[in-house]
Amino acid sequence: MIEGYEEYKKAGEIAASVMKDVLKLIKPGVKINEIVEFVEREILKRGGNIAFPCNLSVNEIAAHDTARIDDDRKLKEGDLVKIDLGVHVNGYIADMAKSIIVGKGNKEKELLIKASEEALDEAINKIKPGVKSNEIGKVIEETIRSYGFKPIVNLTGHFLSRYNLHTNKVLFNIYTRHYFEIKEGDVIAIEPFATNGYGKVIDEAEALIYKFLKRKPTRNIYARKLLDYIERRYPHLPFCERWLKDIMPKINLYSALRELINIGSIYAYNILREKDRGVVSQAEHTVIVKKDGCEIITSI
């Protein structure tokens, strides 16, 4: 029996049910903060815990975007939206993502979504013990390129363990010379990204999501107070500035976050944008590798 199997299953069921419902909210004029807060609220309501702040990334933004404090951004007709959500039960994580067009899209955006979804399906069909990791990357890359698009070379799938969203093993979305063998019991978040742009993401200046690294001394009284809170509430998994808004006034919060980044107490996940501002689609499921294949725990 795989460690945490029942918890992984429950986390996956909650993730899938929340995703199914949030997709119905994706309409022109809806505020981004309403969507991400719905996701996070429903995860808790349905018996799970939030594994990371709900990501909602639009068009050329590929990942790590979420609602800011007092965010007034709204979805627009034709936007391609990526919703990436994570649930954990007792530390065992299910991670999934879907892409959807707001209102009416166009043929290219529809094909872009189909490319990442089919790449995900092909990768899942190939997963079993003994398969080389670069064979999975190859089928993802070939599927996306068959649609006339590019995989994003510096975004990867990732292996999961208890309270660990990204272990030291990743699953590239392209063919590489280096590889390892997939093993029974591996828990993997497979997530192809497709784009009509350059095929690479770069950091935007802004970060809204963070992760605790280690405790380090600081003379900044607000930074010390914030660090105490973060270490107590979010010792293992990512958090966002929205979750800290009641700790102190915004001006002090932002200066405290900068101080904690500068001294190396927290890590900032910069918003990721496609290098040439190409539109990006994403599809993701979490799977558990079994004797003869794998089980999708986040299937809707």
Q: Average pLDDT for consecutive 10-residue bins of the chain (300 residues)?
A: 93 98 98 98 98 98 97 97 98 98 93 98 98 98 98 98 96 97 97 98 98 96 98 98 96 97 98 98 98 95
Question: Which of 71, 121, 166, 184 is labelled catalytic?
Answer: 166
Structural domain including 183 reads: 5-203+272-296
Question: Which pLDDT score, from 0 to 100, does residue 79 have?
Answer: 97
Instruction: Return the CATH number at 267.
Output: 1.10.10.10
Say yes or no: 216 and 75 in one domain: no
Say yes or no: 157 and 217 in one domain: no
274 in catalytic set: no
Give CA–CA dist 242/37, Å, rounded.
Answer: 10
Question: Which pLDDT score, from 0 to 100, does residue 248 have?
Answer: 96
Say yes or no: 92 and 152 in one domain: yes
285 in catalytic set: no
Give CA–CA dist 202/277, Å, rounded.
Answer: 10
Say yes or no: 213 and 196 in one domain: no
Question: Which pLDDT score, from 0 to 100, does residue 300 have?
Answer: 87
228 in catalytic set: no
Question: Which of 7, 42, 191, 241 is labelled catalytic?
Answer: 191
Distances (CA, A) of 245 to 9, 69, 136, 242, 249: 32, 7, 41, 5, 7
Question: Which of 60, 84, 141, 241 is labelled catalytic?
Answer: 84
Contact (Cβ atoms closer than 8 angstroms) between residue 196 and residue 38: no
Q: What is the pLDDT of residues 174-212, one digit of tens each?
A: 999 999 999 999 999 999 999 999 999 999 999 999 999
Instruction: Return the CATH number at 113.
Output: 3.90.230.10
All residues at 6 or more sequence positions from 266 whose CB lies less than 8 Å from its CB, including other chains: 210, 211, 212, 213, 227, 230, 257, 260
Q: How far is CA 29 from the centre of its chain?
A: 24
Say yes or no: 25 and 124 in one domain: yes
Say yes or no: 59 and 175 in one domain: yes
Question: Which of 158, 186, 241, 259 is labelled catalytic?
Answer: 158
106 CB-contact burial (10 Å; exposed 0-12 / middle 13-18 / buried 19+): exposed
184 in catalytic set: no
Question: Which of 7, 40, 95, 186 is labelled catalytic?
Answer: 95
Say yes or no: 210 and 199 in one domain: no
Say yes or no: 103 and 131 in one domain: yes
284 in catalytic set: yes
Say yes or no: 192 and 81 in one domain: yes
236 in catalytic set: no
Give CA–CA dist 100/105, Å, rounded.
Answer: 9
| Total domains in the fold of the chain | 2
Say yes or no: 261 and 285 in one domain: no
